């Protein structure tokens, strides 16, 4: 009964394949150690590692690594036809790399052995060229007429190769022409695959990556070895060294077949193509300048660098913008959009603006609400969709097919989304804090108007004396201005406070023919807390009221000294004075004294026949 390989654990398959590959590698190393005199087990007669040429190591390591990568993929996906083709191409690569080494060893092989080796080399090299277009005919998307195309490639190139190998007559050198023609078919298959998957971002990304890595890897070998040999010009570099280009194919195909971080492959592919193209162009220009112009190698290199810098790099930028269009917006635009969304008056508008911001930034074909799947953004369906977590008033969202369906979401998009979510959350919290502040200020203003302004107006309403009523209304209006203008101030500018007080006091004294003498010793850039401003204003108002009502003075002197430690106020009139022991402090002077002492200050009253002097000292930290 046949054993179904799907029941064999992947690690068993992989271990067996690795063992087989390493065994072949060790056999080749053992042969490479043999001296020119023939086979021997005497280690003393073996060649040293230092005698191994660079091409030997390059070919052996390239063949082994290509085989191991392809074996790894097939061991994980044994029933996957593209993986099987990939594994077969790796075996072909090992074959033409290892057989090439035979011709660089010191061991004296027989002519028959050299003949069989040449046949194997030609068969495996052509076999690689047959397998690769077959792979692209069915992966990542099965192309229309794929079976017919595969049959044509297998029969056409297979028959040509067999006829050239087994004759009559045998024509081994024609392998370079065969592989060159196979390379043209590979390029055509890659272009066809990219065109066929242009409407499917996921398949197109992998097609571009596989195509570029294959064309660059095998194309470099064809351009530097096969084409020159086909036209009898001689290889640009030694064939064994050029084999290392094939590793690009296997690394790229391994990444593509396993769909590892597929959503970044498109950008990688274009970058790789651009960088390698620049290097190839510079090398070709350098060779052309040396061959056709009478200049030296260093001069040719300088001219090549100049041409690449002035012509290729600008063209590369144009192509990059064409194939990899940027859908990102300036950070300032994103920030402005988030602020606009966060500051909308209603929750519905905020959610709609958030959705609009994401739509304008990522350009998805679809965007819809979904259930909460966690607080972090993440990719799904290999980059076809992006989950956006709920934030503030907006529900969780799913974005599908970015850049109008021409691209996939990438980890960079996840990072950008997380950044936008954090900004939206912070903007919403700032809005909430602002709303709370507005509410608190409204409450405070309403309380001040009710408790202070309302009470003062009631006192004025019930006052029987017109002059007292006018004074109380004037003071009430000043307090009302303070409530409105300074509602949000933690500290009030000294310049504004004293200017208002001076104007108010002068206006009150003028109808009573009392002159105001205002003396200020202070830094006008200074500021005061509201409690101290209120005490200062009340003190000066009460002193002015007493001078108007009781002093019979014609001058009032107000001296204010502001230093870092305290504020000193000294107010003096030139009236008739009174005897301190003969009077009790009325409501005005009593409230004045209580207010000053309540702030930790001191209050004193001096009077004589030449007038009254009030002095108050307030600590700045009050």
Comparing CA positions, the residue from 337, 251, 290, 320 lying closest to residue 72 is 251
Comparing CA positions, the residue from 17, 28, 173 lying closest to residue 95 is 28
Could you write out the three-class secondary structure of 242-256?
Answer: HHHHHHHHHHHHHHH
d(CA 438, CA 436): 5
pLDDT of residue 5: 44
pLDDT of residue 382: 63
Is the four-CA dihedral 175, 176, 181, 183 of positive or negative sign?
positive
pLDDT of residue 153: 96
The whole-number average pLDDT for the span 332-350 is 79
Taking each helix axis as running N to C, give the angle between helix 146-166 and helix 111-138, from 0 to 180 degrees, rounded to the nearest 10: 170
The whole-number average pLDDT for the span 509-515 is 85
At residue 616, does pLDDT exceed 80?
A: yes
At residue 265, does pLDDT exceed 50?
A: no
Q: What is the CA radius of gyration of the chain?
A: 46
At residue 499, does pLDDT exceed 70?
A: yes
Comparing CA positions, the residue from 505, 487, 605 lying closest to residue 555 is 505
| Residue 270 main-chain phi, psi, to 5 deg | -65, -40
Could you write out the three-class secondary structure of 7-29?
Answer: HCCHHHHHHHHHHHHHHHHHHHH
d(CA 569, CA 522): 12
Is the four-CA dihedral 9, 11, 17, 20 of positive or negative sign?
negative
Higher pLDDT, 406 or 111: 111
DSSP class of residue 535 equals: H
The whole-number average pLDDT for the span 392-411 is 78
Beta-carbon-side half-sphere exposure of residue 458 (alpha carbons within 13 Å) = 7
Please provide the DSSP assignment of 390-449 as one string. -BTTBPPEEEESHHHHTS---HHHHHHHHHHHHHHHHHHHHHHHHHHHHHHHHHHHHHHI
d(CA 344, CA 353): 8
Give per-residue pLDDT as tens, 181-211.
Answer: 998 899 899 889 989 988 877 777 778 877 8
What is the share, in percent, of the chain residues with pLDDT greater than 90?
A: 13
| Residue 496 main-chain phi, psi, to 5 deg | -65, -45
Alpha carbon 321 to chain centroid distance?
19
Higher pLDDT, 54 or 447: 54
Are 248 and 213 within 8 A, CB to CB?
yes
d(CA 208, CA 518): 85
Q: What is the pTM of this model?
A: 0.51
Alpha carbon 591 to chain centroid distance?
64
Higher pLDDT, 429 or 95: 95
Alpha carbon 265 to chain centroid distance?
18
Are 84 and 71 within 8 A, CB to CB?
no
d(CA 413, CA 266): 14
| Least confident window among 330-334, 353-357, 574-578 | 330-334
| Residue 238 main-chain phi, psi, to 5 deg | -65, 140
- Can the peptide bond before residue 433 be classed as cis, meaning omega within 30 degrees of 0? no
Give per-residue pLDDT as tens, 419-429.
Answer: 888 888 888 88
Long-range contacts of 513-517 (CB under 8 A, 24+ apart): 513/554, 514/547, 514/548, 514/553, 514/554, 514/555, 514/556, 514/573, 515/554, 515/555, 515/556, 516/555, 516/556, 516/558, 517/555, 517/556, 517/557, 517/558
d(CA 437, CA 417): 30
At residue 591, does pLDDT exceed 70?
A: no
Helix ranges (H only) for 486-572 are 494-509, 530-546
Give per-residue pLDDT as tens, 214-237.
Answer: 888 887 878 788 777 766 667 778
State whether residue 376 is helix, strand or coil.
coil
Q: What domains are defined for the chain?
A: 5-260 (1.20.1070), 264-324 (no CATH), 331-431 (no CATH), 490-619 (3.30.565.10)
Other beta carbons less than 10 A from residue 421's beta carbon: 21
The whole-number average pLDDT for the span 127-141 is 91
């Amino acid at each position: 009964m046949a054993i179904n390989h799907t029941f064999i654990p992947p690690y068993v398959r992989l271990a067996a394949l690795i063992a087989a590959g390493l065994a072949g590698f060790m056999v080749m190393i053992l042969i490479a150690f043999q001296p020119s005199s023939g086979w021997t087990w005497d280690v003393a007669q073996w060649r040293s590692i230092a005698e191994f040429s660079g091409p030997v190591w390059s070919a052996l390591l390239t063949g082994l690594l290509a085989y191991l990568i392809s074996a790894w993929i097939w061991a994980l996906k044994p029933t996957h036809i593209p993986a099987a083709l990939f594994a077969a191409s790796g075996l072909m690569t090992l074959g033409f790399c290892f057989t090439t080494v035979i011709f660089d060893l010191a061991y004296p092989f027989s002519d028959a052995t050299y003949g069989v080796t040449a046949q194997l080399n030609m068969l495996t090299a052509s076999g690689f060229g047959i397998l690769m277009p077959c792979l692209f005919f069915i992966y990542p998307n099965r192309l229309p007429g794929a079976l017919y195309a595969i049959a044509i490639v297998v029969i056409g190139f297979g028959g040509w190769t067999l006829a050239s190998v087994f004759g009559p007559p045998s024509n081994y050198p024609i392998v370079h022409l065969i592989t060159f023609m196979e390379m043209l078919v590979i390029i055509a298959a890659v272009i066809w695959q990219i065109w066929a998957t242009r409407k499917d971002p996921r398949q197109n990304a992998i097609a571009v990556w596989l195509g570029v890595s294959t064309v660059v890897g095998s194309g470099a070998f064809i351009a530097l070895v096969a084409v020159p040999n086909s036209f009898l010009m001689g290889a640009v570099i030694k064939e064994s060294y050029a084999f290392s280009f094939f590793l690009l194919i296997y690394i790229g195909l391994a990444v593509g077949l396993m769909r590892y971080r597929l959503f970044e492959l498109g950008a990688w592919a274009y970058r790789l193509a651009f960088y390698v193209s620049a290097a190839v162009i510079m090398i070709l220009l350098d060779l052309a300048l040396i061959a056709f112009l009478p200049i030296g190698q260093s001069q040719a290199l300088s001219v090549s660098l100049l041409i690449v810098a002035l012509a290729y790099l600008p063209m590369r930028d144009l192509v990059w913008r064409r194939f990899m269009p940027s859908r990102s917006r300036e950070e300032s635009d994103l920030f402005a959009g988030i602020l606009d969304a966060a500051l909308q008056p209603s929750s519905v508008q905020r959610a709609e603006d958030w959705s609009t911001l994401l739509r304008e930034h990522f350009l998805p074909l679809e965007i819809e609400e979904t259930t909460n799947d966690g607080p972090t953004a993440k990719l799904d369906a290999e980059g076809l969709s992006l989950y956006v977590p709920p934030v503030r008033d907006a529900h969780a969202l799913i974005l599908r097919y970015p850049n109008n369906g021409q691209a996939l979401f990438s980890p960079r998009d996840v990072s950008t989304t997380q950044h936008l979510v954090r900004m939206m959350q912070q903007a919403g919290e700032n809005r909430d804090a602002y709303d709370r502040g507005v509410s608190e200020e409204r409450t405070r203003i309403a309380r001040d108007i009710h408790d202070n302004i309302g009470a003062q107006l009631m006192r004025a309403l019930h006052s029987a004396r017109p002059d007292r009523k006018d004074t109380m209304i004037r003071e009430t209006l000043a307090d009302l201005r303070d409530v409105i203008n300074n509602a949000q101030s933690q500290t009030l500018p000294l310049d504004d406070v004293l200017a208002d007080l001076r104007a108010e006091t002068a206006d009150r004294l003028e109808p009573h023919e009392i002159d105001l003498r205002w003396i200020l010793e202070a830094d006008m850039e200074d500021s005061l807390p509201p409690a101290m401003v209120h005490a200062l204003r009340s003190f000066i108002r009460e002193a002015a009221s007493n001078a108007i009502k009781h002093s019979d003075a014609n001058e009032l002197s107000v001296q204010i000294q502001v230093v870092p430690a305290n504020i000193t106020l000294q107010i003096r009139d030139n009236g008739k004075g009174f005897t301190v022991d003969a009077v009790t402090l009325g409501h005005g002077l009593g409230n004045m004294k209580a207010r000053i002492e309540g702030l930790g200050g001191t209050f004193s009253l001096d009077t004589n026949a030449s007038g009254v002097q009030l002095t108050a000292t307030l600590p700045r930290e009050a």
